[in-house]
Structures are given as structure tokens and as C-alpha cells.
Homo-oligomer: A and B are copies of this chain.
């Protein structure tokens, strides 16, 4: 996690390739970045240890696991430290909340929620969202379409 920012262009290239396909074999990866397998693997291990690569994840079709209905929820919370901290802590225990951000300005907080369908969302809304303490306003917006599939951060490799 220490910011050992000695990332040269090969490291960036490795990061980019692994972000595109986290299951690349070390051999294939080495070939793509122009290295032999052993130093390539050593670099990957170093990147993992430095926290640059935080993990690997399979990308799942939300529909297939019964979470094809997505909602963006703006939440306003009373702005004192206790309330905010309790609210954010409580969010951790709601698995349907996929993403959550605290913002400057208004709304103070934005959630992305994924559930099975409208009925499931109604249940979540009435049972878990409106009951959170300190919440003064909840505004739900159904997602019509995902315009851009999340593909991770773009990584600029100078000269590659």
C-alpha cells in the first residue's frame, strides 16, 4: 500500500492487460509486455504486494444472479458527525447497495442498488432505506440503461 511509485511503462502495461483479462496466464502476459515469464511474474507479485493490484474478480451478469433491476438513490442525511458515521456504517450491512459515495453539495450521498425487480426494491425501500436514522430525504431513480459498461480505469502506457 506504500506508494512505491516506481511504476515504469512495463508495470503500467501489465496493469492494463490484467485489468482487461484477469485470468491471463503469466506466459501470455509476459509475451504481451515483452518480458520473459519469470521477471513478469515477479513484477505482478510486487504490484499485488504494493496494493496497485488490489485483487481479481469475475464479472457476473447481474441478471443471472437475480439482480437485473438497478436503481440510483440520492440520500440526504443530517450533517453531523455521529449521524453520518452511523449512516455509512449501516450501509455496509445492506448487501443490495452495490456502490455508495459521499459527495460535496447536494445530494450528500448517492447509492447504486441492484435487486431482482421493482417489487424487491419497494420492499428494500420501505424496510431498510427509510428506516435508516438521520435520513431526511430519499430520491430513487430507476436506471433505464447502462450506457457504458464498467471496464475499469483506463491506463495510459506511454509508448505502447
Judged by DSSP, the binding face of A is mixed
Q: Which A residues have a C-beta under 8 Å from some C-beta of B?
A: 3, 5, 7, 12, 15, 18-23, 50-67, 70, 72, 88, 91-92, 95-105, 109-110, 114, 141-148, 150-156
Please state if B7 and A64 are interface contacts (CB–CB under 8 Å).
yes
* Number of identical protomers: 2
Please state if B142 and A58 are interface contacts (CB–CB under 8 Å).
no
Please state if B154 and A96 are interface contacts (CB–CB under 8 Å).
yes
Given A99-B148, A147-B100, A61:B65 Cβ within 8 A: no
Given A56-B56, A57-B59, A22:B22 Cβ within 8 A: yes
Please state if B56 and A147 are interface contacts (CB–CB under 8 Å).
no
CB proximity of A65 to chain B, nearest CB, Å: 5
Task: State A155–B58 Cα separation when bound (angstroms).
Answer: 12
Please state if B56 and A60 are interface contacts (CB–CB under 8 Å).
no
CB proximity of A159 to chain B, nearest CB, Å: 16
